[in-house]
Chain A
Amino acid sequence: DTAVSQTPKYLVTQMGNDKSIKCEQNLGHDTMYWYKQDSKKFLKIMFSYNNKELIINETVPNRFSPKSPDKAHLNLHINSLELGDSAVYFCASSRTQSGQGANVLTFGAGSRLTVL
């Protein structure tokens, strides 16, 4: 009954490959996010979707393409992987209406990507 689940948890791949990370939330939240955490633990927003619509797209290379087939899913596809893409990628979701628990980010367990 995991609230926000990401797969895979670990991913090791060669430079130049294409890979995807999947994310699903069963909380009924209307907004989902992708964050990147680098080796210094800095967390940076990459994308945000609200009801399947892209609402935040930070300065991220266009090799990164998010896809939201429905409100409960937000997948991240990365083309032509580079060494600098090595990081932990976190999916998160939130409920943006008012009330108890609103606007609190619930995170997945993270996906550690290592590019060799």
Chain B
Amino acid sequence: AQTVTQSQPEMSVQEAETVTLSCTYDTSENNYYLFWYKQPPSRQMILVIRQEAYKQQNATENRFSVNFQKAAKSFSLKISDSQLGDTAMYFCAFMKHRSGTYKYIFGTGTRLKVLA
């Protein structure tokens, strides 16, 4: 069974600094998708970034980028130039499609606090 592990329950970073959130996963599959979602205090789940496992190039979205290491089954999120609005829970997620079933498995989350 697939599992997703986020080993950092809480992190903090100074405004304008860079922070990296860790995520590892366990799967025997070769093709799958990985995601980072953000949940601010408003409770809304928002997609941050997406990575297809067959793509070697790391995904980037403005200040957000990932370090995808397929062999190591690692998918870390780097936030550059952190802003106060980045304060949120961050969830790493794994998705595998099989026989018409799309199942997303989420990690336990990392609570990030950006300090002024």
CB distance from B53 to the nearest CB of A (A): 12
Residues in chain A near residue B106, CB distance under 8 A:
42-44
Which residues in chain A, 37-57, are within 8 Å of chain B measured between CB atoms?
40-45, 48, 50, 55-56
A42–B33 CB distance below 8 A: no
Q: B97: which A residues are within 8 A, CB to CB?
A: 96, 103
Binds B, one of A13-21, A61-69, A79-87, A105-113: A105-113
User: Taking chain B's interface residues, is the majority helix, strand, or loop, or is none over half, making it mixed?
Assistant: strand
The answer, yes or no, to whether A94 is at the interface (CB within 8 Å) is: yes
Contact check, B102 vs A94: say whether CB atoms are below 8 A apart.
yes
Mask of B9-31 contacts with A, CB within 8 angstroms, 1/0? 00000000000000000000000
Smallest CB-CB separation from A33: which chain B residue? B104
A104 engages B47 (CB within 8 Å): yes
Digit string of B95-111 for contact with A (CB within 8 Å is 1, else 0)? 10100111111101100
| In contact, A48 and B102 (Cβ under 8 angstroms) | yes
Check if A55 sits within 8 Å of B91, measured CB to CB.
Answer: no
Q: Taking the complex as formed, is B35 at the interface, i.e. its CB lies under 8 A from any CB of chain A?
A: yes
CB distance from B91 to the nearest CB of A (A): 7
Sampled A-B contacts (30; CB under 8 Å) = A31-B102, A33-B104, A40-B108, A41-B39, A41-B108, A41-B109, A42-B106, A42-B109, A45-B105, A48-B101, A48-B102, A48-B103, A50-B100, A88-B43, A90-B45, A96-B102, A103-B33, A103-B50, A103-B95, A104-B50, A105-B35, A105-B37, A105-B47, A105-B104, A106-B47, A107-B37, A107-B44, A107-B45, A109-B43, A110-B44
